[in-house]
């Protein structure tokens, strides 16, 4: 497979050079704003805020370079762009909407003199949508004298429409499901009896129940499709599994997915099972629901104790919380291996010591982050292959952040130096490097990994689980070194062995859900390289991930 190239336009390069915009922003701006980028930016220089990595100060500097003294803080274009920018930033933290007063308050320090006018401008341009969140009277205390007013919300249009598509699709599938002939019995009967259902359980518990689920559905004459986050995840989940990207015949545009499978050309399956579905953000979930024809049964399986998705929304959690679909609890797993015992303890808020005579779980203390990185490289390159027979190419390192001596950037550099030294002559990569898709490629999903098998001046050839892919130089910016990745990037995929590096630098960002997700990524073995001292146990005991503001629960309840 070969992807088309797309170079930034000469007009944009000329515009950026004249305004002093650094050259590295050229490709992201062209990708985000399209072939008319130069014209759009001349008409409204604050549209530069739509480019990832650009902040208000940089956009103001660019505007002054184009407009001179006319680039005023009170310019309505600036207010609108900053309102959208803050909504984009909120979406990066998982929110699909914000209360209007909260957004207005965030605009004030940015010298937006009329915040409500800026929000209205974003609404008028169609970039955002306005909602009233009705009060949940069941949640109010009995002694309240007067019910509060509905909350005014505003959210980016793309995520608002996606959330509404999920809600409408769930209701459609729930209403159109017909009883299966010779319906199954047992613990999975209720899940298969409904149009949409949630299965809660650890990845191991869900994978153990999957053959029973597939067999029961097929015995009732149903065609079954099992969807996973990546091709690697599909390879470990059995012959019925396929990456969701492939199931939907999706194309990654760099700013989302375009799916050939949709309501006009739905997936050819009677039962669709999404594994480890906590990774599903609201737009991906909307694409999945819309690709399910009337009467299809959709089952979302995931760990309620794990991390929410990297993108906006909390679809799995919202479905369960809404009370509108059945939830089946599969528990922690079929057995009580040392890894099962560890994760079960973390779910309870404990970090137990576990006995692991066969080395399923190994804890490696480190005095500081530099030593943690050193220990992680030793484990991957020597200890795990020698002691457990798992080759280095089947070991994945997970970091709790990107920065610092034990962040994924430093870990990848150290792992490359040990396992595949080279100059990074082709966009920072060499043949033999493992790469991670950080932004979806056409037909290759975010989170997929594979080794570089060929490289020249035109790009790289990478052996992904679905087959070799030719990635042109223009798209190499969507790749990262992939021997180490963040826990969030690993969400939805598992490996034979995992080395989880808990850095001291990330102590303030640790949480129980992060630990659950990290510790369940390994099938056979988990090494925990621990430089955070008591912070990890404290985080498991006390810290949850920050709450997300979404609308899906209310939409589902109607």
Report pLDDT digits (tens) over 300-313: 999 999 999 999 99
**Region 490-506 average pLDDT:** 95
* Residue 468 neighbours by CB distance under 10 Å: 13
pLDDT at residue 3, rounded to an integer: 46
* In the predicted structure, residue 146 carries a pLDDT above the cut 80: no
Q: Which of the listed residues 303, 334, 365 is the one where a domain comes to its end? A: 334
**Residue 175: inside a domain:** no
**Residue 554: inside a domain:** no
Instruction: Name the nearest CA neighbour of 233 among 271, 273, 267, 275.
Output: 275
User: Which of 97-101, 239-243, 421-425 is the least confident region?
Assistant: 239-243
**Statement to judge: residues 351 and 487 lie in one domain:** yes
Cβ proximity of 291 and 525 under 8 Å: no
What's the CA gap between 558 and 552, in Å, rounded?
Answer: 10
- State pTM to two decimals: 0.92
**Statement to judge: residues 329 and 397 lie in one domain:** no
pLDDT at residue 184, rounded to an integer: 63
**Residue 350: inside a domain:** yes
Whose tokens are 């001292």? That residue is 533
**Statement to judge: residues 530 and 417 lie in one domain:** yes
**Statement to judge: residues 458 and 381 lie in one domain:** yes
Q: What are phi and psi of 206, to 5 degrees?
A: -65, -45
Query: For helices 282-290 and 157-176, what crossing angle results, to 10°?
Result: 40
**Statement to judge: residues 344 and 294 lie in one domain:** no
**Residue 555: inside a domain:** no
pLDDT tens string 451-482: 999 999 999 999 999 999 999 998 998 999 99
**Cα-based angle 194, 200, 202 (whole degrees, multiple of 5):** 145
* Residue 182 neighbours by CB distance under 10 Å: 10
| Token couple for 275 | 């594994």
Q: How confident is the model at residue 199 (pLDDT cuts 50, 70, 90)?
A: very high
**Statement to judge: residues 495 and 389 lie in one domain:** yes
pLDDT at residue 89, rounded to an integer: 96
What's the CA gap between 58 and 20, in Å, rounded?
Answer: 10
536's enclosing H/E stretch is helix 535-542
**Statement to judge: residues 120 and 192 lie in one domain:** no
What's the CA gap between 23 and 28, in Å, rounded?
Answer: 10
**Residue 4: inside a domain:** no
State how far the alpha carbon of 190 is from the alpha carbons of 196, 262, 278, 427, in Å.
Answer: 10, 27, 21, 51
**Statement to judge: residues 447 and 517 lie in one domain:** yes
Cβ neighbours for 32, distance < 8 A, ≥ 6 positions apart:
50, 51, 52, 254, 255
**Residue 487: inside a domain:** yes
* In the predicted structure, residue 5 carries a pLDDT above the cut 50: no
3 state SS of 244:
helix
pLDDT at residue 4, rounded to an integer: 45
Q: Which of the listed residues 315, 334, 353 is the one where a domain comes to its end? A: 334
**Residue 471: inside a domain:** yes
Cβ proximity of 18 and 65 under 8 Å: yes
pLDDT at residue 446, rounded to an integer: 93
pLDDT tens string 249-277: 998 776 778 999 999 999 999 999 999 99
**Statement to judge: residues 189 and 107 lie in one domain:** no
What's the CA gap between 416 and 395, in Å, rounded?
Answer: 14
CA gyration radius, the chain: 24
pLDDT tens string 13-25: 889 888 888 888 8
pLDDT tens string 351-409: 999 888 889 999 999 999 999 999 999 999 999 999 999 999 999 999 999 999 999 99
Range of the domain at 518: 338-542
CATH at residue 480? 3.40.50.300
**Residue 123: inside a domain:** yes
Name the domain count of the chain.
Answer: 3
Q: What is 146-193 written as a DSSP string?
A: SPPPPEEEEEEHHHHHHHHHHHHHHHHHHHHPPPPTT---STTHHHHH
**Statement to judge: residues 425 and 383 lie in one domain:** yes
Q: Output the furthest CA–CA distance in the chain (Å, rounded).
A: 76
pLDDT at residue 6, rounded to an integer: 46
The per-residue pLDDT of the chain, averaged, comes to 91
Residue that wins the pLDDT comparison between 287 and 332? 287
Cβ neighbours for 141, distance < 8 A, ≥ 6 positions apart:
none
**Statement to judge: residues 269 and 380 lie in one domain:** no
Q: How confident is the model at residue 342 (pLDDT cuts 50, 70, 90)?
A: very high
What's the CA gap between 272 and 285, in Å, rounded?
Answer: 12
Q: How many residues does the chain have?
A: 558
pLDDT tens string 64-115: 999 999 999 999 999 999 999 999 999 999 999 999 999 999 999 999 999 9
**Statement to judge: residues 326 and 343 lie in one domain:** no
pLDDT at residue 330, rounded to an integer: 87
């Amino acid at each position: 497979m070969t992807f088309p190239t797309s170079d930034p336009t000469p007009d944009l390069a000329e515009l950026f050079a004249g305004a002093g915009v650094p050259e590295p922003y050229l490709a992201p701006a062209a990708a985000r704003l399209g072939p008319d980028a130069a014209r759009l930016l001349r008409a409204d220089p604050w549209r530069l805020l739509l480019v990832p990595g650009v902040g208000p100060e940089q956009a103001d500097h660019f505007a002054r370079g184009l407009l001179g003294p006319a680039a005023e803080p009170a310019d309505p274009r600036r207010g609108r762009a900053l309102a959208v920018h803050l909504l984009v930033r909120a979406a990066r933290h998982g929110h699909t909407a914000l209360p209007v007063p909260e957004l207005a308050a965030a605009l004030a320090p940015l010298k937006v003199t009329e915040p409500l006018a800026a929000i209205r401008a974003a609404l008028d341009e169609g970039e955002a949508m306005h909602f009233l969140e009705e009060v949940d009277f069941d949640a109010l205390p009995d002694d309240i004298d007067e019910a509060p007013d509905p909350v005014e919300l505003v959210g980016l249009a793309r995520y608002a429409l996606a959330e509404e598509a999920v809600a409408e699709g769930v209701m459609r599938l729930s209403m159109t499901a017909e009883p299966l002939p010779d319906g199954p019995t047992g613990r999975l009967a209720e899940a298969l009896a409904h149009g949409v259902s949630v299965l809660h359980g650890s990845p191991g518990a869900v994978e153990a129940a999957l053959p029973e689920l597939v067999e029961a559905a097929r015995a009732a004459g149903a065609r079954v499709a099992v969807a996973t986050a990546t091709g690697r995840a599909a390879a470990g989940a059995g012959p019925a599994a396929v990456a969701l990207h492939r199931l939907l015949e999706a194309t990654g545009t760099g700013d989302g997915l375009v799916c050939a499978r949709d309501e006009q050309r739905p997936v050819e399956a009677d039962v669709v099972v999404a594994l480890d579905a906590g990774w599903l953000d609201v737009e991906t979930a909307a694409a999945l629901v819309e690709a399910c024809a009337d009467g299809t049964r959709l089952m979302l399986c995931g760990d309620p104790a794990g991390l929410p998705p990297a993108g906006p929304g909390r679809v799995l959690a919202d479905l369960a919380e809404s009370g509108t679909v059945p939830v089946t609890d599969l528990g922690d797993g079929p057995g009580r291996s040392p890894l099962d015992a560890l994760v079960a303890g973390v779910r309870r808020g404990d970090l137990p010591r576990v006995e692991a005579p066969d080395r399923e779980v190994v804890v490696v203390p480190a005095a500081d982050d530099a030593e943690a990185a050193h220990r992680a490289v030793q484990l991957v390159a020597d200890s795990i292959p020698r002691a457990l027979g798992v080759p280095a190419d089947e070991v994945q390192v997970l970091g709790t952040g990107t920065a610092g001596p034990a962040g994924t950037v430093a870990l990848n550099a150290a792992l490359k130096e040990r396992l595949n030294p080279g100059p990074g002559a082709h966009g920072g990569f060499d043949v033999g490097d493992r790469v991670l898709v950080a932004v979806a490629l056409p037909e290759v999903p975010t989170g997929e990994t594979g080794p570089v098998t060929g490289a020249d001046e035109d790009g790289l050839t990478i052996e992904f689980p679905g087959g070799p892919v030719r990635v042109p130089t223009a798209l190499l910016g969507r790749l990262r070194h992939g021997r180490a990745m963040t826990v969030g990037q690993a969400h939805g995929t598992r490996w034979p062995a995992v080395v989880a590096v808990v850095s001291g630098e990330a102590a303030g960002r640790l949480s129980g859900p992060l630990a659950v997700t990290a510790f369940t990524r390994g099938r056979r073995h988990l090494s925990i390289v621990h430089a955070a001292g008591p912070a990890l146990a404290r985080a498991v005991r006390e810290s949850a991930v920050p709450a997300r503001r979404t609308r899906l629960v209310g939409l589902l309840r109607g």
